[in-house]
Structure 1
Amino acid sequence: MNASESWLALLGAAIGTNARLLELEPNIHSSTLPRVENTEEGLRAFEAEFDERLPPGYRDFLLFADGWEAFYFGMGIFGIPELRGGGNWSPAQELLRTYDDEEVLETIGIDPRDVIPIAAGQRLNLIVVYRSGTATPGRVVWIDSGEELARFDDFQECFRRIVSMKQRHLDRVDPADFAAQ
């Protein structure tokens, strides 16, 4: 499976899982879908405007979906609108500053200048990606409640983990799953 097929399969699995969770737990899950993908030209224009190339992996995601609001229990994955300062960008920046002030970032080995927030919005969840030009461009770190929850080599691995977590949750709450057993 090539990278394009892999992203399409992951997004399809996420959409299906979200739809079923919304049916089963409408008060917990949001009715959201990923935004329409970006184009290579659109991403290059954004990168030229901000004079920074988007990190690999995350950039690939943006070619398939321009972010996804309330993707994981209220936490949204950022697209270009958020990177331009919309949506949860300001709360993510504030959370990054708070984690820096409280030495959380230092404890887990992150220089805040090396990362870009790419997901936030639920409690104290923050997902950051290492900028292009750093020693580990594209590496992703998920911080929750001041602790490193997970570290991923790239954003696709992070996205796959979140989808897997949602699928495990679905397995626990889906009565059709129990009937099949």
Structure 2
Amino acid sequence: MIRIKQATCEADKERLWEYHWPRVAASEVALIEVERHLGFELDPGYRNFLAVADGWPSFFQGVNLFGTPELLGGPAMLAANEILDAAEPYLEVQCGIGRPSAFPIAASARDKDVFFMQLQGSALQPPLVWWAGEEVDRFASFSDFFASMVEYNKLELKALSR
């Protein structure tokens, strides 16, 4: 993903997007604090990602993949929750997931894209849904999401290279 993001940055001659490296890994102490703060366990795939990279600003175009600062209630989390609150009447009908269960893990800083997982009991679990006024895509696991986002970034690179 890093190589693709670097190539996309070089191809983006008009600077349509911001480009950032993933953040430094979250410590085990920070991850335990987040789970204590939230009151539930993170999905293991997402938690493993955070143990390698504590979030990734501009992970895809303007979408920020949340790390511990956002999960602890930063402004990006508040904005993502506002989008999901506004979408409440549609989430269950279109996605089969009620608003109280939808927990954002990524969101666009400048659009209505939100990526959320489902809170089931005391754990955050897949599916991971991409919502932008309607369901855009659905991923069976965090690793499927990440692999798919690599492919979406490759498409972005291809478009910018033309």
Q: What TM-score results when the alignment is normalised by the length of structure 2?
A: 0.88
Residue 152 of structure 2: aligned partner? 165
Q: Tell me if 1:106 matches 2:92.
A: yes
Partner amino acid, structure 1, of 2:19: S
- Asked if structure 1 preserves the Cα contact closer than 8 Å seen for 2:34 and 2:72, the reply is no
Deviation at 1:31, TM superposition (A): 2.2
Deviation at 1:74, TM superposition (A): 0.7
Residue 61 of structure 1: aligned partner? 49
Correspondence 1:18-167 to 2 at 5 A: 18-26=5-13, 27-100=15-88, 103-108=89-94, 109-121=96-108, 122-133=110-121, 137-144=125-132, 146-167=133-154
Once the two structures are overlaid, the 10-residue window that deviates more, 82-91 or 66-75, is 82-91
- Asked if structure 2 preserves the Cα contact closer than 8 Å seen for 1:118 and 1:128, the reply is yes
Of all paired residues, the percent bearing the same amino acid is: 33
Which runs of no fewer than 5 residues in structure 1 stay unpaired? Answer: 1-13, 176-181
Which runs of no fewer than 5 residues in structure 2 stay unpaired? Answer: none
Query: Secondary structure of the residue that 1:104 maps to in structure 2?
Result: helix
Deviation at 1:143, TM superposition (A): 0.7
**Structure 1 CA distance for aligned equivalents of residues 124 and 33 of structure 2:** 24
Deviation at 1:133, TM superposition (A): 2.5
- Which structure features the higher share of strand residues? 2
Deviation at 1:168, TM superposition (A): 2.2
Q: Which protein has the larger Cα radius of gyration, Structure 1 or Structure 2? A: 1
Deviation at 1:132, TM superposition (A): 4.8
Query: Secondary structure of the residue that 1:120 maps to in structure 2?
Result: strand
Deviation at 1:135, TM superposition (A): 9.4
1:31-77: per-residue Cα shift (whole Å, max 9, x none)?
20111111233212321233211122211211111111121111101
**Structure 2 CA distance for aligned equivalents of residues 53 and 134 of structure 1:** 6
- Asked if structure 2 preserves the Cα contact closer than 8 Å seen for 1:56 and 1:154, the reply is no
Cα RMSD over matched residues?
2.0
Deviation at 1:118, TM superposition (A): 0.7
Aligned residues: 159
Distance 1:134 1:107, change over 3 A: farther
- Asked if structure 2 preserves the Cα contact closer than 8 Å seen for 1:47 and 1:54, the reply is yes
